Amino acid sequence: MVRISVLYPSGEGKKFDVDYYVKKHMPLVRERMGTLGLRRIEVDRGLAGGAPGAPAPFACVGHLYFDTVEAFQQAIAPHGKELFADVPNFTNIAPQVQISEVLSA
């Protein structure tokens, strides 16, 4: 299984509308890719950094789970333009994307 993580770094002047992201953007993602191999969605809202009192390095992180990288690529191909066009509706942060293999310990 692979996890596609879309990370939105925190910082001065950066805005992120978590309500819109959770209630509108992620349901749009599920609607577009749910029948194309999307297994699960998770959303993390940053609360704090590792050191006491440190700010969270990321305002929010969205996670999409697929069986393979190829399944993700096939699912995003017809809908990526629409989904990325929605980003300015909830943030002014340029997202970072990481694709990871999910391992169990």
For 43-64, what is each residue's pLDDT tens digit?
999 999 999 999 999 999 999 9
DSSP string for 31-84: HHHTTTT--EEEEEE----SSTTPPPSEEEEEEEEES-HHHHHHHHTTTHHHHH
Distance (Å, whole) CA 57 – CA 8: 9
Residues 15-38: what's their mean pLDDT?
A: 97
Distance (Å, whole) CA 74 – CA 87: 21
What interhelical angle do 69-76 and 26-33 show, nearest 10? Answer: 100
Distance (Å, whole) CA 13 – CA 16: 10
Average pLDDT taken over every residue of the chain: 96
Domain boundaries, the chain: 2-101
- Residue 44 CB partners (closer than 8 Å, separation 6+): 58, 60, 61, 62, 63
The pTM assigned to this predicted structure is 0.92
2-101 placed in CATH 1.10.8.420: no
pLDDT confidence bin for 104, thresholds 50/70/90: confident
105 pLDDT more than 70: no
